[in-house]
């Protein structure tokens, strides 16, 4: 059966053009006749129609948790003011609500319906550009979330409330501009000031004050002191298109032949001005960022905007810095730590076309970049592009949808593309651009395996664990550090020991409100639940039988302690969610490692992201097996991605890199393929398996998750929903399957019982009627049971 990409499927509902109303001159909006009739009638009051000439009708999304678009009448005084994308105030229920005017509407069926009028238009120029309206409509339908809430969630605070735009005006943005090219020796003792100045220089000599203080706490005051010393100038900035601020930094003189070829193709694609999706599959360290930069440069030369999506800003300061130093103040950086006013400022600067490039995290897929020519999704395989609450969208998928709607070039970049993306390449939907070699012909790192089964102490009992740092690993570390080079140690588990087990009764210590083991955090001298945050003192005896407790399962904290014990001279830091408690700490730790003030970085998947540390020549995977056994059909893929990505941090400078992988499962498919540098082999094997079991990309999925106070009640709701689905199943030939209802892999979190149902089918269209049935049944579900529908779910836990 032909599989269709997400964006191939028509959005549900009709896509016919609304009849021209002749009043707004816009005919772009779609109406969905009848589909939400009962809701439309909520906004209408029944009365005899009196007016002679047909009234002008508007389709409005109301920022309330209700489905569908509502029809309102347009008072004559407002007719000339109305433009799609505007925020308006409308009567709703007994009060008023913020609404978004989406376009003219057809008269809803029903002769005697008198519609309520729009009360007020809140802004002159629309907050929402036209292409975003289409994207938000798609997101609401695809991920089954109320459109008004989708729109409100996409807007910066300030615009998401029913206030006039005039009241929502942001402050002028202050920029710090460096007046020197390097940190002068006179600042040697003023550590904080020199750090602020160093940051400024690193990002091209100019940056908004907000951004510097985001990276370096207290930087605002330090920059002002620097200004009083004449080293920095503080400017109030009006961002203007076409102005290049700061020094053009780090632009390589020559592209590699592969970069050049990819660049030529992208330039041609940009010149056509039509939608074209690409996968940029480049090995780690092949210089993908430079390809993005050149494409954005070309888009800019055509007067077009670019949108660059990255997994997590704090983890990718280098990428942000490269964009900032290339394009100066023409870049809006959108991250979660922005203050409300700043977010509003960036939104409006982009909306007005004053800033043409946006770099941001997944929510930036909704950024109002004007005249969008290019969308880049860096590290497109990264799970963080999927949002896991409220609107459960996949930003990479929406980026492709947006590109199609806007007629933009879309580049999905990764060293380890998602299988979904690879399949789209195979099907000819995406064009493939490859960078098979590292820049400057640097070699890929060598990857060696350390079999932990062999490293276990022979004379001990069978249960004895292998050493955390095996002799070969320790030797490699000492040798690397001896040469003055740096080491990354990767283990994807936080804490000191991850399991506390009674030696006598074998019972492990579990959280009282979650179905998971407590992790021992020695630095806090506590055991902590990683799901609900519950923490308590470490019990020295089993709570069941008072037997002595064994501490098993290593976490990053224990690895760090072990390194300090075995190599006392090494300067070691740990990078995980316990140590990087703020974006500032994170940035600072990465910067210190980059400045080579640290020798060893121990960390979770945070160390595996696109970092570019030329001093790192040795990467050690402390245990490759941790993510293999997770009950998720993507477990093997995730493991393979993580190992490949972390291995890719080695040997990016002039010295070649080496990777050591400790494992108990050398024969596990992802481990074996990583050791063999065999991306294609892994992908092929895994795709065959997915096909045989009908998992994505060979099927579409939706999960229905339940969470309830009472185990019995939750189970019975799950079974009830299961019955509804079973009764409405299309014929078997359609290929839709229901898995469950079943207790979720983690049966309880925060005291709530969890169940899930999984739907698989050939297309989203095949699943939609069943999901609609489930939604309709939710009105009868007791409020103690929370039900969530997740289309294209990310994690299965
Ligand atoms: N043409 C070039 N000549 C010299 N150096 C280059 C060139 N292009 C990129 N570089 C440098 O090569 C390094 C690696 O590039 P980059 O970080 O973009 O790799 P990447 O492909 O994104 O890798 P990863 O997938 O591991 O993040 C960077 O330090 C970059 O500045
Ligand atoms: Zn818990």
The answer to whether 558 and 623 are in contact (CB under 8 A) is no
Q: What is the rounded average pLDDT of the residues 634-661? A: 92
Give the up-direction half-sphere exposure of residue 741: CA atoms within 13 A in the CB hemisphere.
21
Residue 626 has pLDDT above 60, yes or no: yes
Determine if ligand 1 sits within 6 Å of the CB of residue 260: no
Say how many Å lie between the CA of residue 287 and the centre of ligand 1: 3
Task: Give the bridge partners for 281, in sequence order.
Answer: 414, 434
Residues 293 and 322: beta-carbon distance below 8 Å? yes
Instruction: Give the Å distance between the CA of 748 and the centre of ligand 2.
Output: 8
Distance CA 664, CA 671 (A): 10
């963080």: which residue's tokens? 384
Higher pLDDT, 553 or 556: 556
Of 668 and 34, the structure prediction assigns the larger pLDDT to 668
**Cβ-based neighbours of 136, under 8 Å, separated by 6 or more:** 128, 147, 150, 151, 154, 366
pLDDT score, position 214: 65
DSSP letter, residue 569: T
Q: Is 545 annotated as a binding residue?
A: yes
Token pair, residue 659, equals 């990777």
Residue nearest atom 30 of ligand 1, based on CA coordinates: 287
Model confidence at 46, in pLDDT bands (50, 70, 90)? very low
Domain-wise residue ranges, the chain: 6-163, 173-237, 257-317+324-340+356-440, 446-494+555-688, 700-791
Measured between alpha carbons, how far is 722 from 706 in angstroms, rounded to an integer? 12
* pLDDT greater than 50 at residue 33: no
Question: Which ligand gives the minimal distance to the CA of 289?
Answer: 1
Which numbered ligand comes closest to the C-alpha of 647? 1
Is residue 517 part of an annotated ligand binding site?
no
Question: Which atom number of ligand 1 is nearest to the Cα of residue 645?
Answer: 26
**501 pLDDT band (50/70/90 cuts)?**
confident
The two beta strands, 700-708 and 785-791, are antiparallel
Tokens read off for 93: 């229920």
DSSP state of 576: S
The CATH homologous superfamily of the domain defined by 446-494+555-688: P-loop containing nucleotide triphosphate hydrolases (3.40.50.300)
How many A from CA of 260 to the centre of ligand 1? 13
Q: Would you call 387 helix, strand, or coil by DSSP?
A: coil
Give the number of whichever ligand sits closest to the CA of residue 442.
1
Q: Which residues are near ligand 2, the ion (C-beta closer than 5 Å)?
A: 511, 513-514, 529, 531-532, 534
What would the DSSP string read from start to end of 132-173? Answer: HHHHHHHHHHHTT--HHHHHHHHSPTTTSSS--GGGGPPPPE
Tell me which of 3.40.1440.60, 1.10.287.180, 3.40.50.10540, 3.60.15.30 is the CATH number of domain 6-163: 3.40.1440.60
pLDDT at 576 over 50: yes
Taking residue 429's Cβ as centre, other Cβ atoms within 10 Å add up to: 17
Q: Which element (helix H / strand E) includes 272?
A: helix 257-272
Enumerate residues 6+ apart whose C-beta is below 8 A from 81: 121, 124
ipTM of the complex: 0.97
pLDDT over 90 at 588, yes or no: no
- CATH architecture of the domain with residue range 700-791: 2-Layer Sandwich (3.30)
Ligand number nearest to the C-alpha of 752: 2
Is domain 257-317+324-340+356-440 classified as CATH 1.25.40.320?
no
Q: Is the CB of 318 under 6 A from ligand 1?
A: no
The pLDDT tens digits of the residues spanning 747-794 come to 888 889 999 999 999 999 999 999 999 999 998 899 999 999 999 999
Give CA–CA dist 513/360, Å, rounded: 36
Task: Assess contact for 748 and 775: CB atoms under 8 A.
Answer: no
Q: How far is ligand 1, taken at its centre, from the CA of residue 209, in Å? A: 28
Asked if residue 10 has pLDDT above 50, the reply is no
For range 143-163, the mean pLDDT: 84
Q: Compute CA distances 379 → 101, 212, 416, 417, 445, whole Å.
A: 35, 25, 8, 8, 20
| pLDDT tens sequence across 337-357 | 677 777 788 888 898 888 999
pLDDT > 90: what percent of the chain? Answer: 46
Highest mean pLDDT among 123-127, 360-364, 628-632 belongs to: 360-364
Q: Which ligand is nearest to the CA of 748?
A: 2
Rounded Cα distance between 47 and 526, Å, is: 67
Rounded distance from Cα 653 to ligand 1 centre (Å): 10
Atom of ligand 1 nearest to the CA of 649: 26
Q: What pLDDT band is residue 190 in, cutting at 50, 70 and 90?
A: confident
Q: What CA–CA distances, in Å, run from 384 to 109, 150, 395, 564?
A: 43, 19, 9, 32
Is any atom of ligand 1 closer than 6 Å to the C-beta of 657?
no
What region does 355 belong to: left with phi over 0, alpha with psi -120 to 50, or beta?
Answer: beta
* Alpha carbon of 707 to ligand 2 centroid (Å): 15
Nearest CA to ligand 1 atom 1: 255
- The rounded Cα 196 to chain-centroid distance in angstroms is 28
Mean pLDDT of the chain: 83
Atom of ligand 1 nearest to the CA of 254: 1
pLDDT of residue 250: 66
CA of 439 to the centre of ligand 1 (A): 6
**Of 261, 287, 646, which is best to mutate to test ligand 1, by the most ligand atoms within 8 angstroms of its C-beta?**
287
Residue pair 593/546 in contact (Cβ under 8 Å)? The answer is no
Q: Confirm or deny that 514 is annotated as ligand binding.
A: yes
Residue 750's pLDDT is what?
87
Span from the CA of 522 to the centroid of ligand 2 (angstroms): 18
Bridge partners of 450, per DSSP, are 662
- Domains 257-317+324-340+356-440 and 446-494+555-688 fall in the same CATH topology: yes
pLDDT tens-digit profile of 256-311? 999 999 999 999 999 999 999 999 999 999 999 999 999 999 999 999 999 999 99
> Are 138 and 365 contacting, i.e. CB atoms less than 8 angstroms apart?
no
Nearest ligand 1 atom to the CA of 259 is 1
Q: Of the ranges 176-180, 273-277, 616-620, which one carries the lowest mean pLDDT score?
A: 176-180
pLDDT at 74 over 80: yes
User: Binning pLDDT at 50, 70 and 90, where does residue 456 land?
Assistant: low
Answer with the residue of higher pLDDT: 375 or 24: 375
Q: Is the CB of 259 under 6 A from ligand 1?
A: yes
Whose Cα sits closest to atom 27 in ligand 1? 610
The answer to whether 620 is a known ligand-binding residue is no
CB of 84 within 6 A of ligand 1: the answer is no
Nearest CA, atom 15, ligand 1: 287
Is the alpha carbon torsion for 142, 146, 151, 153 positive or negative?
negative
């Amino acid at each position: 059966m032909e599989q269709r990409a997400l964006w191939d499927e028509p959005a549900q509902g009709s896509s016919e053009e609304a009849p021209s109303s002749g009043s707004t001159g816009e005919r772009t909006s779609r109406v969905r006749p009848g589909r939400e009739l009962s809701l439309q009638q909520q906004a209408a009051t029944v009365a005899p129609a009196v007016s002679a000439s047909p009234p002008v009708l508007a389709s409005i999304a109301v920022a309330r948790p209700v489905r569908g678009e509502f029809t309102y009448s347009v008072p004559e005084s407002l007719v000339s003011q109305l433009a799609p994308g505007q925020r308006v105030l409308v009567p709703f229920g007994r009060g008023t609500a913020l609404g978004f005017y989406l376009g003219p509407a057809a008269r809803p069926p029903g002769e005697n319906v008198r519609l309520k009028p729009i009360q007020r238009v809140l802004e002159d120029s629309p907050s929402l550009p036209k292409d975003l309206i289409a994207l938000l409509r798609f997101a609401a339908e695809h991920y089954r979330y109320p459109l008004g809430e989708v729109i409100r969630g996409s807007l910066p605070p300030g615009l998401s409330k029913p206030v006039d735009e005039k009241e929502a005006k942001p402050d002028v943005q202050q920029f710090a501009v460096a007046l020197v090219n390097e940190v002068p020796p006179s600042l040697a003792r003023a550590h904080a000031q020199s750090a602020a100045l160093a940051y400024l220089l690193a990002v091209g000599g100019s940056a908004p004050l907000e951004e510097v203080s985001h990276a370096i706490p207290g930087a605002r005051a330090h920059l002002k002191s620097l200004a009083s010393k004449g080293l920095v100038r503080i400017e109030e900035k009006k961002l203007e298109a076409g102005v290049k601020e700061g020094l053009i930094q780090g632009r390589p003189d020559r592209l590699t032949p592969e970069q050049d070829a990819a660049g030529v193709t992208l330039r041609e694609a940009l010149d056509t001005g039509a939608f074209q999706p690409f996968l940029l599959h480049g090995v780690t360290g092949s210089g993908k960022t430079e390809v993005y930069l050149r494409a954005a440069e070309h888009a800019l030369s055509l007067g077009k905007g670019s949108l660059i999506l990255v997994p997590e800003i704090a983890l990718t300061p280098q990428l942000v810095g490269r964009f900032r130093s290339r394009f100066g103040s023409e870049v809006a950086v959108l991250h979660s730590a922005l203050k409300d006013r700043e977010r509003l400022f960036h939104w409006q600067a982009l909306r007005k076309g004053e800033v043409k490039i946006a770099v941001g995290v997944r929510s930036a897929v909704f950024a109002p970049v004007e005249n969008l020519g290019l969308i880049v999704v860096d590290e497109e395989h990264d799970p963080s592009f999927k949002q896991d609450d409220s609107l459960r969208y996949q930003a990479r998928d929406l980026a492709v949808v947006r590109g199609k709607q806007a007629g933009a070039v879309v580049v999905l970049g990764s060293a380890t593309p998602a299988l979904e993306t690879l399949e789209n390449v195979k099907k000819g939907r995406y064009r493939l651009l490859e960078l098979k070699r590292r820049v400057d012909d640097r070699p890929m790192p060598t990857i060696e395996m350390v079999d932990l089964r062999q490293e276990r102490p022979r004379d001990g009992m069978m249960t004895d664990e292998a050493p955390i740092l095996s002799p070969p690993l320790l030797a490699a570390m000492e040798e690397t550090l001896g040469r003055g080079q740096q080491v990354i140690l990767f283990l994807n588990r936080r804490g000191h020991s991850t399991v506390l087990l009674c030696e006598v009764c074998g019972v492990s210590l579990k959280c009282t409100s979650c179905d998971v083991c407590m992790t021992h955090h020695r630095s806090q001298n506590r055991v902590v639940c990683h799901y609900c945050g519950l923490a308590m003192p470490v019990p020295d005896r089993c709570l069941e039988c008072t037997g002595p407790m064994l501490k098993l399962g290593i976490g990053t904290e224990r690895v760090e302690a072990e390194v300090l014990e075995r190599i006392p001279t090494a300067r070691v830091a740990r990078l995980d969610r316990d140590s990087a408690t703020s974006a500032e700490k994170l940035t600072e730790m990465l910067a210190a490692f980059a400045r080579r003030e640290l020798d060893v970085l121990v960390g979770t998947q945070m160390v595996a992201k696109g970092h570019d540390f030329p001093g790192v020549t040795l990467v050690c995977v402390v245990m490759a097996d941790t993510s293999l056994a997770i009950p998720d059909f993507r477990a093997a893929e995730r493991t393979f991605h993580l190992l490949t990505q972390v291995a890719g941090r080695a040997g990016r400078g002039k010295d070649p890199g080496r990777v050591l992988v400790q494992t108990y499962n050398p024969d596990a498919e992802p481990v074996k393929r990583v050791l063999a540098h065999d991306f294609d082999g892994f992908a092929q094997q895994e795709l065959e398996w997915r096909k045989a079991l009908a998992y994505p990309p060979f099927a579409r999925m939706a999960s229905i998750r339940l969470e309830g106070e009472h185990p019995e009640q939750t189970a019975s709701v799950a079974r009830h929903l299961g019955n509804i689905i079973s009764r409405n199943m299309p014929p078997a030939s359609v290929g839709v399957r229901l898995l469950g209802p079943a207790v979720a892999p983690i049966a309880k979190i925060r005291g709530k019982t969890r169940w899930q149902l999984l739907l698989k089918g050939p297309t989203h269209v095949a699943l939609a009627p069943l999901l609609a049935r489930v939604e309709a049944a939710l009105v009868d579900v007791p409020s103690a049971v929370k039900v969530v529908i997740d289309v294209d779910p990310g994690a299965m836990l």
